[in-house]
Chains A and B, each alone.
Chain A
Amino acid sequence: DQQVKQNSPSLSVQEGRISILNCDYTNSMFDYFLWYKKYPAEGPTFLISISSIKDKNEDGRFTVFLNKSAKHLSLHIVPSQPGDSAVYFCAASGLYNQGGKLIFGQGTELSVKP
């Protein structure tokens, strides 16, 4: 039972265009969502997060949108750069989980072509 799903294993985008990465979740108890970026041979690095009390959070070129009714979140990267090429994981957690446990999706590999 996968509670966090990233249905697109890969995405290819031209440099300068928008990249949109999608994530769906099933557990309505989740109230905090995060995106991580992972380069080969490195650990995932925290990118951006959003609380369920918001529907949008922006940090530079990165914006995360949350649609609670659809149990869907997305990460927008504008403009995309070749250095953004990496695997992106979405993750979710909830206040019910006092330990701060994160549930990760399977990841989407983004390729930004010059």
Chain B
Amino acid sequence: DARVTQTPRHKVTEMGQEVTMRCQPILGHNTVFWYRQTMMQGLELLAYFRNRAPLDDSGMPKDRFSAEMPDATLATLKIQPSEPRDSAVYFCASGMRAVDSYEQYFGPGTRLTVT
């Protein structure tokens, strides 16, 4: 049963601390997405990668957020320094981008609380 996994599931941290969220995409998927869900903004795309190369990170606050794919089995999203307004659920999704395939498969999310 192939699934996207995310760690940690919950994170509570103090303002100013570094936060790292990890994602393991489904094996064989070539595209990885990071989303943030808040009550006000709904599901917003932060960044995404194809074949480990960043395609678009225009949704991320560049001064504090960074996304990387060290290898095909790991994607990371870092926030440094974290702020209370970063509190949200962060989802990772993966997909196999093909000519007629747009389906993305989501992980369970990381619920981040910054106090």
| Chain A residues close to B by CB (< 8 Å) | 32, 34, 36, 41-46, 49, 51, 89, 93, 98-107
Contacts and interface: CB of A to CB of B under 8 A. Distances in A.
B105 interface: yes
Contacts, number: 61
Given A43-B91, A44-B91, A104 B43 contact: yes
Given A34-B102, A104-B42, A107-B42, A99 B56 contact: yes
Nearest to B96: A100
Given A89-B43, A99-B56, A106-B42, A43 B102 contact: no
A43 B4 contact: yes
B103 interface: yes
Contacts of B105: 45-46
A49 B103 contact: yes
A43 B107 contact: yes
A17 B93 CA distance: 33
Contact of A101 (B48, B101, B103): B48
Nearest to B108: A43
A49 B44 CA distance: 20
Given A43-B107, A101-B45, 20 more contacts: A32-B100, A32-B102, A46-B103, A51-B100, A89-B42, A93-B102, A98-B97, A99-B50, A99-B56, A100-B48, A100-B95, A100-B101, A100-B102, A101-B56, A102-B33, A102-B102, A102-B104, A103-B45, A104-B44, A107-B42
